[in-house]
Amino acid sequence: MSAPKYRLAGEPGEGKFYIETYGCQMNQSDSEVVVAVMQEAGFVYTDSLDEADVVLVNTCAIRDNAEQRIWGRLAEFRGVKRRRPWMLVGIIGCMAERLKDRLIEQEKAVDIVVGPDGYRSLPGLVRQAAGGTKAVNVLLSREETYAEISPVRLDKNGVTAFVSIMRGCNNMCSYCVVPYTRGVERSRDAETILAEVRDLFGRGYREVTLLGQNVNSYNYNDVNFAGLLARVAEVSPLLRVRFSTSHPKDFSDELIETMARYPNVCRAIHLPAQSGSSRMLELMNRRYTREWYLDRIAAIRRMLPECSISTDLIAGFCTETQEDHEATLSLMREAGYAFAYMFKYSERPNTKAQRTMRDDVPEEVKTARLTEIINLQNELSLASNRAEVGRHVEVLVEGRSKRSADEVYGRTSQNKVVILPRMNFLPGDYVRALITDCSSATLIGVPLG
């Protein structure tokens, strides 16, 4: 099967590429690496699909609905190709890794398939596809961290940036496809992380989010995550530092103490519980119990009382009973989450759960449980926001509010969105504000003094 001849093949500076990103923050961060690699090779980035000679789709495989969305999008690209037959379509990221050449067999519009560890080979593969031979690289690596590549920031507020500190995952949660799509865990050289952060700060960025599938197991030349966090926080007291995602089993007191020592490390911790039932946690291979998890929450509340805590929850995992579900609801109340990402369990091919357990919770039960979880979280988010009303907070302004030209929005250290009157605030400004009102999603503030 050969692709139509690519009109700009091998002419640096002329092949325009467009990239679309699905899935997690790690994928957003990877897309920024991809843009850097493509530009270095002479391709020109465009944010308009209509201009693109190459379309790259950075995909997610975590739940079936994530993949269904991408199949739908690919069918649309087939339509675009009828008008512009030279256009190449590359599927990259987790779904590329999971399905490999099957993607090309199942969808004729696909010309290039590249997994998360193959991005350095992308320019060459695009040229190969342009020459008429479909191109695939789904090799996973034990070493690749794209350490010295300077990502091209796509999220253009100029204030907040993601910095990848590690790749892959060794946790093997029984429901999860990520260890198969992103390979084994490896940490990025701390010096390259610090160089990237210093460069961002020098260019006016005021917040970095350190990213990894399990940042708590970061380890590079005897620098652990608490050590890395301290060094990043020392780049400047004016730089806010966030991190995601933490695994409860590795969430240490040392890390909480480090956070407490640096006021610029944001008071927000994302600590995915997945379930409140120890029986479910065992089946999920999470390697902690409900009691362990609640002990970690208690340690955070004790050492960092002003910290907000958020989570991920899965409704309807294999064999989940009403009692297990109620344990999740009660955990949510006890933890008092400020925010949560909530999902129905979606069976993923070749995971341990798919191989050894039955996806036996009926769809309508999953839906009903998820609805209950979402309704409870709305109450908890509102309560958490109401507690902020009357308080003084520091807001880092990110940009103009979408709702009104007279307002700007930013975030508190707790990661809560605040709407402020615009006045003459600019992205990157720190504004002291009094919180006067809220909804379950946002805070309303007025500047102090």
Q: Which residues bind ligand 5AD (CB under 6 A)?
A: 62-63, 175-176, 272, 274, 312, 314, 343, 345-346, 348
Reference 269, options 221, 305, 313, 223; nearest CA is: 305
Cβ-based nearer residue to ligand 5AD, 137 or 328: 328
In angstroms, the CA 447 to CA 314 distance is 39
Q: Does 178 bind ligand SF4 (CB under 6 A)?
A: yes
User: Is position 56 an interface residue for ligand SF4 (rule: CB under 6 A)?
Assistant: no
Token code pair at residue 340: 């949560």
Q: Which residue reads 């999220």 in tokens?
A: 155
**181 in contact with ligand SF4 (CB under 6 A):** yes
Element (H, E) at 438: strand 430-438
Task: In angstroms, give the least distance from the CB of 314 to ligand SF4.
Answer: 13
Strands (E) located in 274-412: 308-315, 339-344, 392-400, 407-411
E strands along 197-288, which residues? 207-211, 219-220, 223-224, 240-244, 268-270
- Report the residue closest to ligand SF4, judged by CB: 23
**Distance of alpha carbon 417 from alpha carbon 397, whole angstroms:** 10
Any contact of residue 171 with ligand SF4 (CB under 6 A)? Answer: no
Contacting range for ligand SF4; rule: CB under 6 A; set: 60-68, 100-108, 262-270, 296-304: 60-68
Nearer to ligand SF4, 94 or 331 (CB): 94
Q: Which of 37, 38, 55, 60 binds ligand SF4 (CB under 6 A)?
A: 60
Pairing of strands 308-315, 407-411: unpaired
What residue type is 191 in one-letter code?
A: E
What is residue 248's DSSP assignment?
G
Residues 340-359 that bind ligand SF4 (CB under 6 A): none
With CB under 6 A as the contact rule, which of the stretches 23-31, 70-78, 148-156, 352-360 interacts with ligand SF4? 23-31
How far is 302 from 290, CA to CA, in rounded Å? 18
Site string for ligand SF4, 68-107 (x = CB under 6 A): -------------------------xx-------------
- Position among 62, 211, 283, 435 found at the interface with ligand SF4 (CB under 6 A): 62
Q: Which is nearer to ligand 5AD, 328 or 413 (CB)?
A: 328
Residue 348's binding partner among ligand SF4, ligand 5AD, none (Cβ under 5 to 8 angstroms by kind) is ligand 5AD
Q: For residue 115, which of 130, 105, 128, 100 has the smallest C-alpha distance?
A: 100
Extract the runs of DSSP E, i.e. beta strands, from 168-252: 186-187, 207-211, 219-220, 223-224, 240-244
237 CB-near residues (< 8 Å, 6+ apart): 263, 264
Which CB, 141 or 236, lies closer to ligand SF4? 141
Contact flag: residue 266 with ligand SF4 (CB under 6 A): no
Given the complex with ligand 5AD, which of 52 and 173 has the nearer CB atom?
173
Judged by the rule CB under 6 A, the positions of this chain that interact with ligand SF4 are 23-24, 26-27, 60-62, 93-94, 177-178, 181-182
